[in-house]
Amino acid sequence: DAGVTQSPTHLIKTRGQQVTLRCSPKSGHDTVSWYQQALGQGPQFIFQYYEEEERQRGNFPDRFSGHQFPNYSSELNVNALLLGDSALYLCASRYGTGKNEKLFFGSGTQLSVL
């Protein structure tokens, strides 16, 4: 059983460009969340998708957008990249409900903005 898979593993972009990151959740998981982890910091919640809609959003500007497909996979799009967007982007899929909920994280995409 494959875990949460993310692609690409590394990416280099320049300021002002746009980027798309991809995530395939663990088999049977229908909810996907995205987190940004800057160097030396804890992950920061970007948003969560369920049933192809954004359900929760963290404190990130509209330059960050996403999409979820019918097969539950997801994309994170970032427009007009800034140097400060350089970070590890983590995808997580959810299993269970209520107090039994659990998140499974992918290994992340390391984005460098030059």
Residues making contact with another protein (CB under 8 A): 4, 31, 33, 35, 40-45, 48, 56, 58, 90, 92, 94-103, 105-108
Q: How far apart are CA 14 and CA 93, in angstroms?
A: 29
Instruction: State in angstroms the smallest separation of the CB of 51 from another protein.
Output: 14
Length of the chain: 114
Question: Would you state the structure tokens that stand for residue 5, as one six-digit string?
Answer: 């898979």
Query: What are the backbone angles phi and psi of residue 50, rounded to the nearest 5°?
Result: -145, 135
Tell me whether residue 17 or residue 107 sits nearer to another protein (CB atom).
Answer: 107
Question: Would you state the structure tokens that stand for residue 49, as one six-digit string?
Answer: 């998708």
Tell me whether residue 15 or residue 57 sits nearer to another protein (CB atom).
Answer: 57
Instruction: State in angstroms the smallest separation of the CB of 17 from another protein.
Output: 25
Instruction: State in angstroms the smallest separation of the CB of 14 from another protein.
Output: 25
Question: Would you state the structure tokens that stand for residue 58, as one six-digit string?
Answer: 């963290």
Q: Are 10 and 109 in contact (CB under 8 A)?
A: yes
